[in-house]
Amino acid sequence: MGIERVGIVGGGQMGAGIAEVCIKAGVDVFVHEINDDLAAAARSRVEKSLGRAVEKGKLDETGRNEALSLLRTGSDLDAMADRDLVVEAVIEDEGIKKALFEDLDRIVESTSAILASNTSSIPITRIGQATSRPEAVVGMHFFNPAPVMPLVEIVRSPVSSDDTVERAASFAADRLGKTVVHAKDRAGFIVNMLLCPYIIDAIRMYESGFATKEDIDAGMVNGAGYPMGPLTLSDLIGNDTMLAVAESLFEEFREARYAPPPLLKRMVEAGLLGRKTGQGFYSY
């Protein structure tokens, strides 16, 4: 069965980005937020992003208007009832995600619908256990910013059905034009299991006074060919998200390389979250 109606729960930077990717591919999208003001803000994020695409000549006005005609936002979760695919894109908190999937299990009507999480670190098995249909639950991990980054990690739990995995992967690759990689269901999947220790080591290096933040970032950009340094990248991801990923990885593997640095915890407690506030490592 094809996927023509997508629901996205969470209209922040990631959710809005996923919504934009979908509507540009001609998919009907409903974005849910917890109140009407946040729902309106989600729509505004998409409108502004599409506007920038028009300004840069990557999209014409007709394409922009056609895409926006496919987007609805609101605060009624029951609007997810007719969706073929629902992608959860809320904060990286296992309890919140599980409660949401329990609600979606009750609301989404189609027995063939896919319930997907955009989690960057939490095992899909644990999320799927909150539903009566764990075989329909899969990870679809988009990367930030979703309209630009080509990758989607498809994460299969031990009970995700072949049909669920194949349809999710086909939608991401064939309809959305993304590069798909398949990951086994363990904390961090492929990318964050490799990326997280790198960023953590950079934070520890800065915290110890071994090198300045500017030199750490410049070293990896100019010496290793990375598009941005690890501290800038942590700010882009969101230092609160980075902390949540590190905590999830450390909880599962109990390896020192995943242990969250004290500096990262202090920054999050101080509200220096990077992308959400504009305050991060370079304002610390």
When mean pLDDT is compared across 104-118, 164-178, 261-275, the lowest value belongs to 261-275
Looking at residues 1-5, what average pLDDT do you find?
A: 90
Q: Please report, in angstroms and rounded to a whole number, the separation of the first and last CA atoms in the chain.
A: 50
Q: Evaluate whether residue 246 is within a structural domain.
A: yes
Catalytic residue among 20, 88, 92, 153: 153
Instruction: Please report the pLDDT score of residue 97 as a whole number.
Output: 98
Q: What is the DSSP string of 94-119?
A: HHHHHHHHHHHHHH---TT-EEEE--
Q: What domain range is 164 assigned to?
A: 5-184
The question of whether 192 is a catalytic residue gets the answer yes
pLDDT of residue 39: 97
Is 132 a member of any domain? yes
Selected catalytic residue, list 141, 160, 247, 248: 141
Residue pair 245/92 in contact (Cβ under 8 Å)? The answer is: yes
Position 283 in a domain? no
Same domain? 177 vs 214: no
Instruction: Assess whether 120 carries a catalytic annotation.
Output: yes
What is the DSSP-derived secondary structure letter of residue 279? -
30 located within any domain:
yes
0.75 surpassed by pTM: yes
Q: What's residue 284's pLDDT? A: 81
Same domain, 9 and 89: yes
* Residue 227 falls inside a structural domain: yes
**Share above pLDDT 90 across residues of the chain, in percent, rounded to a whole number:** 96
The CATH number of whichever domain residue 155 belongs to comes to: 3.40.50.720
Please provide the average confidence, as pLDDT, over all residues in the chain: 96
The yes-or-no answer on residue 153 being catalytic is yes
Asked whether residue 275 carries a pLDDT value surpassing 90, the answer given is no
**22-47 residue pLDDT tens:** 999 999 999 999 999 999 999 999 99
113 found inside a domain: yes
The tally of domains found in the chain comes to 2
Same domain, yes or no, for 40 and 114? Answer: yes
Is 284 domain-assigned?
no
The pLDDT value recorded for residue 86 is 98
Catalytic residue among 192, 234, 239, 248: 192
CATH number at residue 262: 1.10.1040.10
pLDDT computed for residue 238 by the predictor: 92
Is the domain of 219 the same as that of 159? no
Instruction: Tell me whether residue 132 is one of the annotated catalytic residues.
Output: no
**pLDDT value at 278 more than 90:** no
**Does residue 212 share a domain with residue 150?**
no
Name, in order, each residue with C-beta under 8 angstroms of 246's C-beta and a sequence gap of 6 or more: 196, 200, 258, 259, 260, 264
Choose the final residue of a domain: 156, 184, 212. 184
Residues 116 and 43 occupy one common structural domain = yes
